[in-house]
Each structure stands twice: as C-alpha cells, then as structure tokens.
Amino acid sequence: MTTLRLSGNPEADKLLSKDPLALLIGMVLDQQVPLEWAFAGPAELRRRLGHDLDAREIASMDPEALAAAFSARPALHRYPGSMAGRVQELCRTLVDQYGGKADAVWKGAKSGQELLARVRDLPGFGEQKAKIFVALLGKQLGIRPDGWRQSSAPFGDPATYCSVADITDAESLDRVRAFKQEMKAKAKAAAAKTPAKKAVAKKVTAKKTPAARKTPVTKKAVAKKKVGASSSASR
C-alpha cells in the first residue's frame, strides 16, 4: 500500500492512504487553510466520532452534532460549520450514487474523462480540485484509466510540483508551496494592474466626450429679445 504524506502526521497519513472516504474528506477540507491542517482533519474527525468514518452515518447525522464535532477546539477548519455541511453533502452523494463507498467513485470509471466528471460532480469539488484529485489518484495511488493525464492536466503532467498530487516528502512539499506562492504573487500583481488600466480607460473616455454645447441663439430669439427691450423702454 502506498503511504501518502500530506498531513505531516504519520497516523493521519496512514488513514488517508487506506480509507478512501478520509481522502475525499481531506480534499474537501483543502481550501483556505494550510494543506497539513486540511489533511489531518479526517483523522481528528474519526477520533471525535469514536470510530471509523462511515459515509452512511455522517450522511444521516444531526447537522448540528456534526458541526459541533467540526467546531470543537482545535477546529477542523477555519470555517467549521460550512465545511461540516459540505462534508455531509459529500457523504449523502456517496450514499445516493455509490452505495456509500467512496472508492466506487473511481473504481467504476472507464476513462480519465469519466473519472474527472464523477469527481467534479461531488460536493466540494470544482474543476481545478477535481483535476488535482484525479492527478493524485494517478500519480500516487495507481488509479490510471485511459486518458487520466490529459483529463487532469496540468496537474497530471509528469515531473511537476504544482499540487498535492506531487507531494511525497518534505522537499516536494516545499517545492509545491513555492509554486503556489509564485502563482499567488502573479495573481496579486495582475489584480493590482487592473484598477490602473480602468482609470486610464476612464480618463481617455472623458477626453473624447464632447463638451456640453451651448443652446444655439436663433433669429427668433434675438427678435423676441429686442421686442422685450423696446416694450420696457416705452413704459
């Protein structure tokens, strides 16, 4: 069995490696928090529930009880309430569509495209996160239906360090983190340029707009003015 190294905690990583539901939950939590925090979450949730993670049980839990398990200190996420709801939605989908078995999501996929579509349809998975997960399955867990690299590109591309799919040790973690910081810096720089461009465009538009025209003085208006002046003088 391949041992994933995503949380920095051997016990949590062992659970991620052997429990497909834990891995899916970790991916859902991997948002707006450090990835180690996100992927340590399933093991801590398991400890708080007092037994192995079960999609059917989580799906049918009282939402407030699940939210309380997420919110107990230390919280499992920066936004424990909303993430508890998202994880419950995930589990309900697994129950409704895959008999409550998380690994059925990828075991039945006949192509990379189908696998990507299945993952993308899960609550908590957008286009990018779905591609990263497909890349993780292919690169580290040997789940490689035809076309999986193409479907998960660029995250499925070989010799890259751009997502959790590429993290296998401390060195690769540092490289992935450096890549993400670089992408954030570029996005921030691009966002900073946008207001300036809009201001310039607005200034140019203002210059092109013709000044308000004065009301033209017609012969009729001049004649009317003279009549008025004559009447005033005769009084």
Task: Name the band, by pLDDT with cuts 50, 70 and 90, for residue 204.
Answer: low
Q: Residue 197: is its pLDDT beyond 80?
A: no
pLDDT of residue 108: 87
Could you tell me the domains of the chain? 10-185 (1.10.340.30)
Distance, CA of 171 to chain centre: 25
Indicate whether 14 pLDDT > 90: yes
How much is the average pLDDT of 164-172? 95
| Amino acid 194: pLDDT | 73
What pLDDT sits at residue 183?
A: 87
Span 43-52, mean pLDDT? 97
For the CA atoms of 59, 61, 64, 69, the dihedral, rounded to the nearest 10 degrees, stands at: -90
Confidence of residue 212 (pLDDT cuts 50, 70, 90): very low
User: How high is the pLDDT of residue 206?
Assistant: 56
pLDDT at 222: 46
Query: Stretch 167-196: mean pLDDT, rounded?
Result: 89
Q: What is the 3-state secondary structure (H, E, C) of the chain?
A: CCCCCCCCCHHHHHHHHHCHHHHHHHHHHCCCCCHHHHHHHHHHHHHHHCCCCCHHHHHHCCHHHHHHHHHCCCCCCCCHHHHHHHHHHHHHHHHHHHCCCCCHHHHCCCCHHHHHHHHHCCCCCCHHHHHHHHHHHHHHHCCCCCCHHHHHCCCCCCCCCCCHHHCCCHHHHHHHHHHHHHHHHHHHHHHHHHHHHHHHHHHHHHHHCCCCCCCCCCHHHHHHHHHHHHHHHHC
How many of the other CB atoms lie within 10 Å of CB of 129?
20
Q: How confident is the model at residue 30 (pLDDT cuts 50, 70, 90)?
A: very high
Greater model confidence, 227 or 78: 78
Percent of the chain residues past pLDDT 90, beyond the cut = 76
Which of 46, 55, 40, 34 is CA-nearest to residue 4? 40
- pLDDT, residue 214, reads 47
Tell me if 177 sits within 8 A of 184, measured CB to CB: no
Confidence class of residue 217 from pLDDT cuts 50, 70 and 90?
low
pLDDT of 184:
86
Quick one: pLDDT band at residue 233, thresholds 50, 70, 90? very low
Q: How far apart are CA 48 and CA 87, in angstroms?
A: 15
Average pLDDT of the chain, as a whole number? 88
